Structure 1
Amino acid sequence: MPSLPIRPGSLIPYTKLDEIDRRITGLLQANSRMSYTDISKEVGISRVGVQARVNALVENGVFERFTLLIKPEKIGLFVSAFFLIEVEPQRLHEAAERIALEPVVTELSRLTGPNQLHMHALFANMTDMDLFLQEKLYPIPGVTRVDTQLLTKRYKY
């Protein structure tokens, strides 16, 4: 199946969204706090029209959620780590559910390949990360291997 063409200057592919929906989506991706009034000026429809379109995009699942990006170091979380976790096939779902409940885990995804989960987590320091590994992650039934990589610099959010 061929991929959908990408709108120039955007990562939003042409889909069932019309041009106004794509413009609204692009503006909100750049600044999710942008007011409906400011968006309406940019796209040329009323504020009420923008609000109706945003509500429809939310209801139709195009917008999964509005979120806030926090700089972890500003709140005392100085260790950002990625984990590749191998799990026994019959325990993959159970392990993923348990890992997802941990407050330090910011993202958890299943990857193609031999029963692997990819996880991102934030910690105050290396001691906290080690405690998480020893007390939370390694004891999960079915976890057979954990590869840990520390983030040293982020280039794009």
Structure 2
Amino acid sequence: MDQIDYKILELLQRDSRITIIQLSRELHLSRPSINERLKRLHENGVIEGFTTLISPEAIGKSVQAIIQIGNLKCGCRHFEEKIKEEEAILECHRVTGTSSYFIKTAV
């Protein structure tokens, strides 16, 4: 990766819907060059995919919370499989210390 690749990533993080033409203009490169760089970034696993950020408040989930989970009465893998089914869970982080997990929710 070079500075141009890093700049492409920066622009994509700012707006993942930026067009090839806009990238080309911003970086002063040809469209085929931008396409080739994007293809290489995908193939090398640098870009894993594209996503959409959704406002929890806009869809009626105005309460967000971080929940600490400790002293599990089941195995970690079983717990992780169970919480995958919960739509309200946005993130789950396994940690060390007195807590086992930190979970981010929106309800």
Q: How does 1:71-110 map to 2 (within 5 A)?
A: 71-88=55-72, 91-110=75-94
Cα deviation for residue 70 of structure 1 reads: 1.2
> CA separation in 1, counterparts of 2:37 and 2:102?
34
- Correspondent of 1:47 among 23, 28, 31: 31
Is the 8 Å Cα contact of residues 68 and 99 (structure 2) preserved in structure 1?
no
Q: Which runs of 4+ in 1 moved over 6 A?
A: none
Please give the TM-score of this superposition, normalised by the length of structure 2: 0.86
> CA separation in 2, counterparts of 1:22 and 1:32?
14
Is the 8 Å Cα contact of residues 110 and 117 (structure 1) preserved in structure 2?
yes
Q: Provide the secondary structure at the position in 2 that maps to 1:96.
A: helix
Percent of aligned positions with the same letter in both sequences? 36
Pick closer, same or farther for the CA change 1:89–1:45 going to 2, 3 Å: farther
Partner of 1:64: 48
> CA separation in 2, counterparts of 1:89 and 1:61?
37
- The letter of the residue matching 1:53 is R
> CA separation in 2, counterparts of 1:61 and 1:89?
37
Is the 8 Å Cα contact of residues 41 and 47 (structure 2) preserved in structure 1?
yes
Consecutive unaligned residues of structure 2, counting only runs of 5 or more, are: none
- The letter of the residue matching 1:77 is K
Report the number of matched residues: 107
> CA separation in 2, counterparts of 1:116 and 1:109?
8
Is the 8 Å Cα contact of residues 81 and 121 (structure 1) preserved in structure 2?
yes
Please give the TM-score of this superposition, normalised by the length of structure 1: 0.61
CA RMSD of aligned residues (A): 1.9
Consecutive unaligned residues of structure 1, counting only runs of 5 or more, are: 1-16, 124-157
